A and B are shown apart, each in its own frame.
Chain A
Amino acid sequence: MAISQELLDILACPKCKGDIYLNETKDGLICDRCKLLYEIKDDIPIMLIDEAKPIEK
C-alpha cells in the first residue's frame, strides 16, 4: 500500500520547507532544491534531515 495523496499533501522538505514529490519507484520523496531523497519504509515517510539520502544528478 503506497502512502496516500492526503498524506503527501501535508509533507514538505524538512530542510527547506519546499515541495517534494514521490519518486518513480514510489519508495521515496524527492526535494529538488536540496537534492535529497526522503525514504519511505514500510509505507512510513521518514522526514528526518539526518536520515535523508543525497541525490546525485
Chain B
Amino acid sequence: MKCLVTGAAGFIGSHLSEYLIKKACKVVGIDNFMDYYPRSIKEANIACLRKNLNFEFIEGSLLEVDLLRLLNGVDVIFHQSAQAGVRASWGQNFKIYSDNNILATQMLLEACKQSPVEKFVYASSSSVYGDTKDLPMNESSMPCPVSPYGVSKLAAENLCCLYYKNFGIPTVSLRYFTVYGARQRPDMAFHRFFRWALEDKPLKVYGDGEQSRDFTHVDDIVEANWLAFEKAMPGEVFNIGGGSRVTLNEVIELMKELLGRELKVHYQGTQKGDVRHTLANMTKAGEKVGYKPKVSIRDGLKTEYEWVKKLVSGRVVE
C-alpha cells in the first residue's frame, strides 16, 4: 500500500511515517519546512526514515506541487501538514493559516476527484470546539473556535465533509487533543517546560496553571490514524484524546517527580485564543473504530523528557 503523508517531517507526520513503514507501506512524504521552528529539528525527525528505501521524501508545498502526479499510485492520504500555533494565528499571519490549512486542503481534495484514494485521513484539532461549556466535548457539539487557527482547522474539516458528501472522497477527520511526546514542537508547553527545567530556568505558565487539557500521546494519535484508515466510515469526524484530563499544575508536579527535584514556576497573563479546558468524549472513536488510548500521562511525559534531554545535549538524531 502506498501512502502520502503531508507534513512528514513534522512532529506527528514523522511518527506516523515510521509507523506506516513498519506496517510494510510505501510512504511518500512531503513537507515544506516552514520556518515556524528550526529546520534542523525537522531534519532530525526524518533522519531514520530517510535510510529506508520505502520512504521517499519531497521538500515542497501542497500549494505548488503537481498534486495529480504526487497522487499517482497513492492509496491513502494522511493529511497532517498545517501551519501550527494558536497564538500566532492572529493579525497579518492569518494568510499563512488560510493558505496552508484551508486552501492546501481544498486543493488536495480537488486532486482526489481525479485521482481517487481509498481513504483521506485529515488531522483536525480540538481547537475547533473553542471554549465550550460542554465537557466532555462531543463530535456533535456546535464548534465555536476561539482562535483563527481553530477557524482554519474547522474550515478544512468542513471541506473534507463537503467533498465526501458531494464527490464521494472518503474523508475521515480526527480531532486531535493536545498532542505530546518525543519530537513535540519547541513552542509547545511540555517541550518548553522540560527545556527550561534542564536549563535550570523558571517554567513560564500562561494563566494560573489550572487550565486543563486532554493530553494525548503521539503513539495513540498514530494508532488512531491507522484505525481511521482501516475501520472508519467515510465522512465521519472523531475525537482522539488521551483519556484523562490533567491541569498544567498537575503536569508540573509529574515533571518534578520525573526530574527528582523542585521546579520554579512563574505564572503569567492568559493568552488570547487559549481555551480553559478540553476533554474528549471518545465513545464514538471507541465504538466505531476501536480506538482506546494506551499511553498514560506519566509514561508519556517520560518519553518526551528523554527526547528533550537528547535535544538539549545535541544528541537528537535517533
Contact = CB atoms under 8 A, between A and B. Distances in A.
Interface of A: 3-4, 6-7, 9-15, 17, 43-49
Given A11-B66, A48-B32, A48-B59, 18 more contacts: A7-B56, A9-B72, A10-B69, A10-B72, A11-B58, A12-B65, A12-B69, A14-B64, A14-B66, A43-B50, A44-B50, A45-B58, A45-B59, A45-B60, A46-B60, A47-B60, A48-B60, A49-B64
A17 B111 CA distance: 14
B60 A14 contact: yes
B59 A14 contact: no
Contacts of B56: 3-4, 6-7
Contact of A11 (B32, B69, B73): B69
A32 B70 CA distance: 20
Contacts of B244: none
A38 to B, nearest CB: 9
Interface string B70-108: 101100000000000000000000000000000000000
Interface of B: 28, 32, 50, 56-61, 64-66, 69-70, 72-73
Contacts of A46: 59-60
Interface of B, secondary structure class, is mixed
Contacts of A17: 66
A43 B73 CA distance: 22
Contacts of A44: 50, 57-59
Contacts of B73: 10
Nearest to A51: B59
Instruction: Name which of B56, B57, B72 has the most chain A CB atoms within 10 A of its CB.
Output: B56
A11 B69 CA distance: 6
A47 B50 contact: no
A47 B58 contact: yes
27 contacts: A3-B56, A7-B28, A7-B56, A9-B69, A9-B72, A10-B28, A10-B69, A10-B70, A10-B73, A12-B65, A14-B60, A14-B61, A14-B64, A14-B65, A15-B64, A44-B57, A45-B58, A46-B59, A46-B60, A47-B58, A47-B59, A47-B61, A47-B64, A48-B32, A48-B59, A48-B60, A48-B61
Contacts of A12: 65-66, 69
Contacts of B70: 10
A51 B72 CA distance: 25
A52 to B, nearest CB: 10
A46 B64 CA distance: 12
Contacts of B32: 48
Nearest to B66: A12
Q: Which 8 A-B pairs have the closest CB atoms?
A: A47-B60, A12-B66, A14-B64, A7-B56, A46-B59, A17-B66, A10-B69, A12-B69
Nearest to A39: B59
A43 to B, nearest CB: 7
A47 B65 CA distance: 7
Of B60, B72, B73, which is in contact with the most chain A CB atoms at under 10 Å from its CB?
B60
A11 B28 CA distance: 12
Nearest to B51: A1
Contacts of B60: 14, 45-48
A54 B90 CA distance: 35
**Among the interface residues A12, A45, A47, which one has the most CB atoms of the partner chain B within 10 A?**
A47
A9 B74 CA distance: 13
Contacts of A14: 60-61, 64-66
